[in-house]
Structure 1
Amino acid sequence: MKNTDPVDIKIESRIKGKSINLSHLRPERKKLGEAVLFIHGASFPSELAFGFRMNEISWMDNLADAGYEVYALDFLGYGKSDRYDYMSGKNAENESIGRGEEVVKDMDIAINYILTELSVSKINLIGHSWGAAVSGHYASLFPEKIDKLVLFAPFIQRNGTTKWDKTKVSYKDLTPGERVEQFISRIPEGREMTLESEVLDKWGDKWLDSDPTSKTRNPFSVRFPSAWEADLFDCWNGNCFFDPRKIKNPTLLIRGEWDTTFNFDDAEKLFGQMENAPSKRYVVIDRGTHVLHLEKNRFALYDEVQLFFESK
C-alpha cells in the first residue's frame, strides 16, 4: 500500500506562546474508535522514531494499514514543536525544563485533542525509552483516558548509584555521526549489524533537518533538551518519577534482547511491580537493542504490539 504522509497539527502547549506538534496519519479503512498515540524518547522526535520509513514503511504506516488512527507527539524542543527559550544558548546553566512530570501536561493537551477530534473516550498509548516512563506516569494519572499501554524499553527506578553526575546543562548538541555511532555501539561485539540500511544512509540527514538551528553551529548538530538525562539520573539513583505500581491499564512491556538501558533485570523488576495492572505481558525481541524500532527485527516489534492491541 502506498502510504501518505502524516498531517501536522499545531496545538498550544502548557507554556503560553509555545506550540507542540501532533502528527496524524489516517487509515484508509479504520477500526471504529481505535486510536494510537506515540511518545518519543530522548534526542530525536517522533518523525525520526515512529514516522521514519525503512523499506518504504514506518511504524506509523504499519498501524495505519491495520486500521488505526495514528498520532505522534513531539515534545517542546523536538522536531516540529517550538523550542524552549533556554535552547537559544542564552541561559544554558539553568535547571532543566521539560522533565517527565512537566511534559505529561502537554501529553494531556494532545490526548484531550484526540479524544475530542475522534469522539472517543480512550486511546492506546505507546512510549519509547524516556517517553515510555513518561507514558507510564501519564497512565497512572489518567487511567480513564488510556485503553492499552505499551512500555517499550522504559526508564525505571534502580536503587544503586550512577558513576556519572546529574547534568547541569539544559540542552545537548550532537552531530548525526555521533548519534548513529551511539546506536551502533549498543550492538554486542561480534554480532552483525542490526540497524536498517536507511538508518545508516539517510537517518542522520533527516535528523539534522528536524532542527531548524542545526546548520547555525559548526559542526552541524542537533540541539535537544537534557531534561531526560536529569530524569534518568534520578531514576537510576532511587528517586524515579514513574511508579509502575500505579498503572491500572492492560500493559505490554517490550524490549530488545540486547538492550542495556532497559536490561533483563530492569524488565523482571518492572513486570513484578505492575501489580495493579488488570493484565500484563512481557515480550523480548531477539537480536534487538534499545532502538529496536530502527532495526531489522522491527517487524517482530510491530506484530507483538498489534497482537496486544487486538487481544481481549
Structure 2
Amino acid sequence: MFDIDASGVSWLRAAAAAGFAAYALDLRGYGRSGDANWRARAFANGAGPTCTGPEAIEDIGAAVDFITYRHGRPTALVGWSWGSTTSARYVAGAGRDKVASLVLYAPIFAERNEAWLAELADPDTPGQRRPLGSHRRITAEDMRRRWNAQLPPGGDDWRDETVLQELARVSLQDDSTARTVTPPGFCVPNGTLVDLWKCFSGRPIYDPDKIDCPTLLVRATQDPTSTRSDMLALFDRLGTAEKQYLEIGNGTHFINAERRAPSLFSAVHAFLHRHGSTTKSTGES
C-alpha cells in the first residue's frame, strides 16, 4: 500500500525524494513476511486471530530498533488506519523515548461506528454468526467494492484505475497461496479485527495522554472509517503540546493511493522535517 508502482502514488519513493531514509514494514502474516511454511503454520485450521495488536507492536519495535541503530538518529513513525492504533500504542509504551515524531494517518480511536460493527463479529462473545478465525481472504473484487463504496457520485476520477489493478496484482503475487482458491484471494490476518471491534465499540485501547512527541493527525474528508469527530476526540486527549490536525478534501480512507496523494505526502513530509526524523546522510543510498 505504501509502494504502489503506478501513477506516482508510491509513498516510499516520495519520501526518499523528500530526503528521508524510507522504510515500510510487512507485519507478520502480511505481504512478504515469513516464508510459505511459516504462513501455513500461522494460519493453521483452528488457530485464533493472527498478528494481534501486541504482536504488531513487537514488530514495530524491532523495525524501529533496527532503523535507529542503522542511521544513528531518532526515527519518525507513520501509522495508517489500524496501524495508527499500533503505532500510537508503541509510542505511548515501549517506544516512548525512541520516536522523534509521530504521524497518525486515517486514525482510529474510540468512537462507536455502527457501519463497521455490522461488518464485524464480537471476538469476545461465543456464538457469533461468524467465528473469528486466524485469517480471511481478500479478492481483487473485494478491494474494488470497499474502495468504490467511499467514492461519492462523480468521484470516479479520484482514483486511477491502474493503481487499483497494480495493488491487487502485487497483493495476490505476494501470497503464494492466493491462487489455490477461486477466485484468487490473498490472506489477511484477523488480529486487526480484535482491536477494531473494541475501537468501533467506543472503547479506547491506549491512553493518548502518554504520547509526548510531536504528533500529526491527518485524514481525508470522505473517510467513513476515520471520522472527524473521532479524530478530534483523539487530538484533544494527546499528551503532547506539539500536535497538529489536518484534513484533506476529495479523498477517502485510501487517499495515499488516490490523485490527492501528493497533498498528503507533502504535508506529512513538511511536518516530519520540522520535528526531526531519520533523514538521509550525504552520499547514503
- TM-score, length of structure 1 as denominator length: 0.78
Q: CA deviation at 1:190?
A: 4.2
Residues 1:114 and 2:77 are matched in the alignment: no
Higher helix share: 2
Gaps in structure 2 of 5+ consecutive residues: 124-131, 276-285
Partner of 1:299: 262
Residues 1:90 and 2:45 are matched in the alignment: yes
Q: SS in structure 2 opposite 1:238?
A: coil
Between the aligned partners of 1:251 and 1:84, the Cα distance in structure 2 is 34
Whichever residue aligns with residue 301 of structure 1, its letter is L
Between the aligned partners of 1:56 and 1:233, the Cα distance in structure 2 is 34
Q: SS in structure 2 opposite 1:144?
A: coil
Whichever residue aligns with residue 116 of structure 1, its letter is Y
Q: CA deviation at 1:203?
A: 2.1
Q: SS in structure 1 opposite 2:147?
A: helix
Whichever residue aligns with residue 81 of structure 1, its letter is S
Gaps in structure 1 of 5+ consecutive residues: 1-48
Partner of 2:203: 239
Residues 1:166 and 2:122 are matched in the alignment: yes
**139-148 vs 199-208, which deviates more?**
199-208
Aligned length: 260
Residues 1:194 and 2:158 are matched in the alignment: yes
Whichever residue aligns with residue 183 of structure 1, its letter is W
Q: CA deviation at 1:214?
A: 0.6
Between the aligned partners of 1:57 and 1:218, the Cα distance in structure 2 is 30
Q: Is the 8 A contact 1:176 1:222 kept in 2?
A: no
Q: Is the 8 A contact 2:110 2:204 kept in 1?
A: yes
Q: Is the 8 A contact 2:7 2:163 kept in 1?
A: no
Residues 1:131 and 2:87 are matched in the alignment: no
- TM-score, length of structure 2 as denominator length: 0.85
Of structures 1 and 2, the one scoring higher in RCO (CA 8 A, sep 6+) is 2
The 5 Å alignment of 1:34-183 reads: 49-56=1-8, 58-82=10-34, 83-85=38-40, 87-91=42-46, 94-120=47-73, 122-141=74-93, 142-158=95-111, 162-163=117-118, 164-167=120-123, 168-183=132-147
Deviations 1:227-246 (A, max 9, x none): 11111001122333232222
Partner of 2:235: 271
Percent of paired sites with the same residue:
28
Higher strand share: 1
Deviations 1:138-181 (A, max 9, x none): 11112211011000012211257734432522210111121122
C-alpha RMSD over aligned residues: 1.9
